[in-house]
Amino acid sequence: MSEPTNTPEKKLSPEDLPRRKADYRLEQLDDELLLYHPSDTRILYLNQSASLVWGLCDGEHQVSQILQLLSDLYPEAKEIEADIYATLAQFLEHGCIEL
Amino acid sequence: MIKDEHKKRRIAFAGSLLDIEYQGAPAERVMAFLFRDLPQYEAMPGNEATAHFTYRFESDRIDGNLCLFAGDELERSCDSEADMALHLISQACYQLAYFSTGGLVMHAALLSRNGQGILLPGSTGKGKSSLAAWLLHRGYDYLTDELVYTPDDHSLQGWGLTRPLNLKRAARPLLREVFHISETEPGVMSNALVDLIPPEKFGSGKVLQSVGLERIIFPRFQPSASLEIRKLSKAQTGLELMQCLINARNLPEHGFPAVANLARAIPAYQMVYGGFEQVTGGLFASSKI
């Protein structure tokens, strides 16, 4: 299991349990998602892989487990770990998950 | 109390009602120029609703100025019919969007060919009016270059707030060289910044009030760019449409579910172009449109 890289995603550790915050309105459009919170007019667009990460932010999957699951799903993706950390960092920045 | 000599025009759009009481020949000219392509509002007998907002437009004053009042407050005073026309149409769009209900109001142009509507969303300054002028020139029918309403009834109909096209000063070379329109010719109102031009100056297409939406195109003009067309996913379309939505505060959940439904129903593309000759092909070359 790789350690987080020296990027803004560094604050995430493999043992963290990300959990979606309540009250987020979600619209699924094919394999992608749009996230919206009533108190914040910003919209977050999630592509297919980010949608899967969102689904696993249930407070029961550690970051390391999310990495493993998606690595198994996308074995050919070379940057999958960096992408997942970046996605989680984006969720944290938008305040839509908590650790 | 309306003076005997005041006339009144009621404008209905997107669930909003705007009254403009006006007086004097210059005001009559401005009102006829701006709103002649909008249908006259006909109230149901015995059901005359109250307007959400009322302007009073006076133009027979001793000082010769044209004055626009919101209630008793003087909002604008000027000596130019073109300046007042520009101000009034901008404010009318604002008020109609502000009080709108029952559907999405977006910054967008809306054109039609063979009864099929092309929605061109984009914020102010993105070149919607210039592109609308070009499509009119190519025989498209016109609904609006600025404000589109899609009611929340799953009909996928688009309604345009029909107004003269509003082209910025930077588009003047285009007016002269491509459309052969002079800013000084009769029927055009111009000031230092903008030319307001009736749609018939560009082409012989019809002026329509509503049309079924068949396609969404997000235009991006970049000088010297090659034509690039990218089909957007439904989620990308929803994201882009939300940025063009201007009455979110009036809608359930800020219009988010309604925008998502629209994005699901209508195919959308992003189009980068560097010149109008490119636009003749591409998405506009389909036999369906």
Predicted confidence at residue B66, as pLDDT, reads: 96
Considering only CB atoms, which chain A residues are within 8 Å of B239?
34, 43, 45
A41 has pLDDT over 80: no
Q: Does the beta-carbon distance from A45 to B239 stay under 8 Å? A: yes
* Distance from the B248 Cα atom to the nearest Cα atom in chain A, whole angstroms: 9
Assess: ipTM above 0.90. no
Q: What is the pTM of this model?
A: 0.89
Q: Using a CB–CB cutoff of 8 Å, tell me whether B168 touches chain A.
A: no
Q: Does the beta-carbon distance from A25 to B238 stay under 8 Å? A: no
Considering only CB atoms, which chain A residues are within 8 Å of B256?
25, 27, 34, 36, 43
Higher pLDDT, residue A23 or B194: B194
B203 has pLDDT over 80: yes
Q: Does the beta-carbon distance from B263 to A45 stay under 8 Å? A: no
Per-residue pLDDT band for B48 (boundaries 50, 70, 90) equals confident
Instruction: Please name the member of A32, A33, A38 whose beta carbon is closest to the beta carbon of B253.
Output: A38
B136-157 pLDDT tens trace: 999 999 999 999 999 999 899 9
- How far apart are the C-alpha atoms of A8 and A10, rounded to whole Å? 5
Give A31-71 as a DSSP string.
Answer: TEEEEEETTEEEEEEE-HHHHHHHHH-BSSS-HHHHHHHHH
Average pLDDT over residues A68-88: 89
Chain B CA closest to residue A37: B253
Considering only CB atoms, which chain B residues are within 8 Å of A42?
none
Q: Does the beta-carbon distance from A34 to B238 stay under 8 Å? A: yes
Predicted confidence at residue B281, as pLDDT, reads: 64
Q: Using a CB–CB cutoff of 8 Å, tell me whether B257 touches chain A.
A: yes
Per-residue pLDDT band for B132 (boundaries 50, 70, 90) equals very high
